[in-house]
Structure 1
Amino acid sequence: MLASAQRGFNCDVVVWDTARLAQRSRFQEHDIEVVAVGFSADDRLLATIGCETERRVFVLDTATGKIVTTSKLPEDTPRVAALAWSPAKGPCYEFATAAGHHVYLWTVDPFKGFISHDRITPGSVRRIISTLTYSADGAWLFAGTESGDVITINVARRAMQLMHPVASGGIGFTGLAPGGKLLVGAGDGTLNLFDFQQAAHSAPPLAVVPGAISAASPVAGVPGRLLVGTQQGGIYWVDMVLGSGGGSGRPSTTTGLAAGTCACTTYEHSQQGALTGLAYSTTGDAIATSSADGTVCVWGAADFQLKARAADPRAGEAQSVALSKDWVVSGWADGTVRCHALTPSGTIGPTPFPGAGGTTIGGRMSPAAGGRVSPALGVSAAAHASAAGAAGAAAVPLVWSIPAAHQTPQACGATAVQLSNRGHFLASGGASGEVRVWDAASRELASHLKHHSQAITDIKVMQDDVHLLCASEDRAWSVWDITQEKLCSVQHAPMGAVRGVAMAPDQVSVATVGMDRAITVWDLRQVSKPAMKIPDAHQAEVTAVAWHPGGAVIASGGADAAVRTWDLRGGGRAAGSFAGHAGAVAEMAFGPDGNQLASAGADGCLVQWRVG
């Protein structure tokens, strides 16, 4: 079984049957947010705990989904950070919760519907508790702290007995290792084996992973193997037996061996912040994403592996991205446009460019199960730049950069980038409304297009590599002749920012979206009024738009987290509506063959849909 919970108006707890991949029961009593769930050792009971505002504790019967008993957290209890059930057998069950520096032991009699709690006597110890784990016999309770200590609690006496410093950066995970010792994962990336019976902890770490360890779980059917997760979005295999490697035939990148006895291999990686941009390669075999966490990642469109990653901790968030076969160009919050080569040698085509910096972590991202139209991958985090080189894959070299490409006294940031179809120039838009065209070989400014007064939200280069479409937050979208630096036309939205612009394959029709919640289709031959309008396309503002290569379908994404398709042959009738995001859709694009649609969201998720 698997239990999941959520935050929001309908913060249900769902129990899933993992064998059938189906819902087993749904519990709907919590309000605002569920902060902790946990199964008893025999899987018969499930404890669920609400946030510090709600303060309700429920114990459920997993067989029926019914409430066994309920209680309230003590007054002024902060947010619960950890929950653990005792493995001890008896007429009553016991579980522990940690909130701030308080630890409570709860006793549950499921037959009488009784629940009570005792507060652990802290003595002189004042630490913020982050994890809880019982010993194998239930006599001891181990509490990991945000200061990197492990506190040993005598369960029978209801008192804290010992405290040992184990690691730096805080404790993110505790669990029992074979033999009864305690495994401790820390914020410094170390996985430690802790023996509470020793006077002091001095053993070297078993393994070190890139990033702060936040979770770990044994792998069923593979003795001695852990799946370790980090706050930076990395997931790693950690094998307790030296030399067992990644196994299972899964793609992985060796991260190296620690001072102890564990082999560590990368399994997956993802981005941590909201996604801000998305682009397919011209061949359709890769997708690039930019993120507010200050990273740019390139993913395999077919196998969902992380191919390349670049980060600059000094540059702020990555705001936009464009991708070709051999290079990825990105715009950053510091106003700089950067280009990274996707080949280890740092070359773009036949021309070598000396590059420095750039980082990568190799990994794998898995397709979701079931459904013709379903998310193929979901991402929510990325590794810090300081840990980026640890994966052992080829580094992504920084080939060149254009400093202060979009840095003005009014605003700073390269909010949109687009490569020309032949690759000989790139266009970039800035936070202050200017559009600039750069020679790709020399990085010299070729054209400066200034009309918009607020940030550029989207840029599209037309097929002739002469004309350019721009969308802006100043309620306008425009068409430019790049060679003459001439404004061909400008149109205004009825209200608010224009969030996206898309060019039809016939190079005549243009679609724009924005705060009016509509999709507006224009004919460039007679642009004075819209050729078609799809009103109320979304329940909130429309934030992204893409045109299918076949020309008959438009896709849109909105602040309502919905992705929708529209058939223009039927006058703009709805063709499909897909749920996969939990936040506003930031960018979307069809693959070159039109069979896939990719969308990037503020929820940090990159979703690929089958639409062909």
Structure 2
Amino acid sequence: MAGDDVAKLELEAVIGFNGHVSSGLRAHPDREHLIYPLGCTLIIKHIRSGQQGFLHGHTNTISCVSVSRSGRYVASGQVTFMGFKADVIIWDYARREIYSRLILHKAKVEALAFSPNDKYLVSLGGQDDGSIVVWNIEKKEAICGSPASPQSAGHCTAVGYANRSDHIFVSAGNGTIRVWELDLPNRKIRPTECQTGQLKRVIKCIEIPEDDGFFYCGTTSGDILKVNLKSRLLASCGPVKQKFSQGVNTLNMLKTGDLLVGSGDGVFSLCSGANFKTIKRVELEGGVTSVALRGEGQHVFVGTSAAQVYRFGYTDFKPVLVATNHSSAVYDVVFPVGTSELFATCSQNDIRVWHADTSKELCRIKVPNMTCNALGFSQDGRSIISAWNDGKIRVFTPESGRLMLVIHNAHSMGVTAIAGTRDSSRLVSGGGEGQVRLWEILPGTHRLVASMKEHKASVNAIQIKSNDQECVTASSDGACIIWDLVRFVRNQMVLANTMFRTVCYHPEEYQIITSGTDRKIGYWEVYDGSAIRELEASLSGAINGMCITLDGGHFVTGGDDKLLKVWSYTDGEVTHVGVGHSGSITSVRICPNNRYVVSTSADGAVLRWRYPHDS
């Protein structure tokens, strides 16, 4: 097994953005970088060059992010499990390392805010915790804490610091708006409840302008409350007629006194600060969850729940799509034959083709409300073949994404695996019911050649031999079957006490390697199906993805333990380990020229790693 002394894989690029974290996208005061979460990793991205840095330290999904006024510190909080503590990490931005780890909250950290002079950090616990804590950043310790909401009110969701005082901050949530004063000598925080009269609102976000005269609260009911910070009284509430649909998720005050408003239905608006009337509005894909202002009068970056990032100019207010990402689990990744410049990934609702070096999306093929389980490029590169959960096989053109062919009712319980032959004229598909089928692809039509029924559960992987006369299928029933594609009978069968997830032919095709839920890698003889050796692949969780190099010297694995491992085929030893995924790894591929490895995971991330061995 891999020890602590195993070399680390170098992470080159990440395609991914967790658009569900409220105010997760942040602009650093240096005006050069954006900071945002993906799973348990914080990503620092250079705006112009696109270069990425990574902060690793959280053990579970990051739930909130804040950047200090000077830019010296970045703070992030995480989610954890019931009964466990949820960490807050303060990062030293210049050194890109942990400055302090603060542990008090239970289950989840809901929100964070720095004081204007970087002296204090206020953290708000989630629903199961319900406390608000003020931390001394220099001493790395808690000063004091208090229940965030009064007994009569609900859960507190947002916190914001005043701009001119290190001793005043605001919290708000379900039926509560409080202004807090820090009493340092007595180590106490004292709340004053703001009076809103008959108005009862659930507040999602707080914005405090530079002068600290008033503050603004965005609500789930789609209106904005304006509250006097000195008198703690409600000044106004609007807009009266045209409320923001699906609630106000983000608020940002501009120097002009106007407000930028992001709402749950994907509308991003510029509103008058006086009466909340809309001046300009744009509709984006997914609900607006975070807005980052870059400098004064430069750009606004907007993140949405569909994992898209847009850039706006203040003057023209036109959206430019700067980053696209998967917003749900990615199930498969493939390269076209013989080229490493592109790769394709599949997820719920879509297939995407990416440019490998720039991580830019080149093509998106959408099939609404369906999930693509597996995909492949035809050998001639003229089509993308894909397996879908509605039981259909769909064939698309890679350049335009045009639908070329649909095979209806290919499998009764969804198509779960697919592979194409070397001559690009036939497909082998596997289904949730366990059948393996061979299809002939003709111009504009298709023909079922054979149906092979031996598996008792879903077929999870298919590999075709280079002469197109044999294939191997891995199934959840604990069997790997080697099929004769000329006579359509079983040549050989491999049995193990596991659910097989993945299988690969060694390039010389005399052995196969398998893996699955028993966390072991099995080497098997193709000729008679006998076991050759068994390796312990993981200490926790199934192995879901495996890929072998063209020369057969090394292979890579990834699974539920979130680690990408590079193995020597002959020695059976781990040579390198990649740490970076926050969700279970679902698939891995080595690019054809052995320059890098691409891995995908259940949290929607696509990671590109530098391949460590000479090809």
Report the TM range for the smaller structure's normalisation: 0.7 to 0.9
Name the counterpart of 2:528: 526
Name the counterpart of 1:4: 76
Identity, % of aligned positions: 23
Query: For the structure 1 residues 399 and 76, does the alpha-carbon distance in structure 2 shift closer, same or farther, using more than 3 Å as the test?
Result: farther
Given the two structures, how large is their TM-score scaled by the length of structure 1? 0.82
Point out which structure has higher relative CO (alpha carbons under 8 A, 6+ apart): 2
Q: Size of the alignment, in residue pairs?
A: 528
Name the counterpart of 2:336: 281
Give the superposition deviation at 1:174: 0.4
Bigger strand fraction: 2
CA distance in 1, matches of 2:155, 2:403: 43
| Matched residue type, 1:334 | D
CA distance in 2, matches of 1:159, 1:320: 57
Q: Please say if residues 25 and 64 of structure 1, whose CA atoms lie closer than 8 Å, have aligned partners that are also in contact.
A: no
| Matched residue type, 1:323 | F
| Cα RMSD for the two superposed structures | 2.1
CA distance in 2, matches of 1:303, 1:326: 23
Instruction: Check if 1:586 corresponds to 2:591.
Output: no
SS at match of 2:319: strand
Gaps (5+ residues) in structure 1? 243-261, 345-395
CA distance in 2, matches of 1:306, 1:544: 23
CA distance in 1, matches of 2:584, 2:201: 38
| Matched residue type, 1:13 | V
Give the superposition deviation at 1:78: 4.6
Name the counterpart of 1:421: 422
Name the counterpart of 2:289: 214
Name the counterpart of 1:460: 463
Residues 209-358 of structure 1 aligned to structure 2 (within 5 Å): 209-220=284-295, 223-242=297-316, 262-282=317-337, 283-291=339-347, 293-314=348-369, 316-324=370-378, 325-344=381-400
Name the counterpart of 1:175: 252
Instruction: Check if 1:448 corresponds to 2:451.
Output: yes
Name the counterpart of 2:161: 85
CA distance in 2, matches of 1:44, 1:399: 61
Name the counterpart of 1:563: 564
CA distance in 2, matches of 1:156, 1:568: 70
CA distance in 2, matches of 1:64, 1:398: 61
CA distance in 2, matches of 1:225, 1:444: 55
CA distance in 2, matches of 1:98, 1:426: 57
Given the two structures, how large is their TM-score scaled by the length of structure 2? 0.82
Moved more, 104-113 or 271-280: 104-113
SS at match of 2:365: strand
Name the counterpart of 1:114: 188
| Matched residue type, 2:429 | S
Gaps (5+ residues) in structure 2? 1-72
Name the counterpart of 2:476: 473
SS at match of 1:287: strand
Query: For the structure 1 residues 554 and 124, does the alpha-carbon distance in structure 2 shift closer, same or farther, using more than 3 Å as the test?
Result: same
1:560-591 CA distance string (max 9 Å, x none): 11221221322x12222221112221111111
SS at match of 1:329: strand
1:232-263 CA distance string (max 9 Å, x none): 01101110123xxxxxxxxxxxxxxxxxxx12
Name the counterpart of 1:385: none
SS at match of 2:373: strand
| Alignment equivalent of 2:135, drawn from 60, 73, 90 | 60
1:246-296 CA distance string (max 9 Å, x none): xxxxxxxxxxxxxxxx122110010111111121221122221111x3221
| Alignment equivalent of 1:401, drawn from 384, 406, 422 | 406
Name the counterpart of 2:59: none
| Matched residue type, 1:174 | L
1:142-169 CA distance string (max 9 Å, x none): 1112222112223333233422134223
Name the counterpart of 2:103: 28
Q: Please say if residues 272 and 279 of structure 2, whose CA atoms lie closer than 8 Å, have aligned partners that are also in contact.
A: no
CA distance in 2, matches of 1:538, 1:590: 23
Query: For the structure 1 residues 530 and 537, does the alpha-carbon distance in structure 2 shift closer, same or farther, using more than 3 Å as the test?
Result: farther
1:531-585 CA distance string (max 9 Å, x none): 1110353322222222122212222112111221221322x12222221112221
SS at match of 2:570: helix
Name the counterpart of 2:51: none
Name the counterpart of 2:601: 601
Name the counterpart of 2:487: 484
SS at match of 1:29: strand
| Matched residue type, 1:446 | V
Give the superposition deviation at 1:451: 1.1
| Matched residue type, 2:257 | G
CA distance in 1, matches of 2:367, 2:406: 12
CA distance in 1, matches of 2:135, 2:255: 30
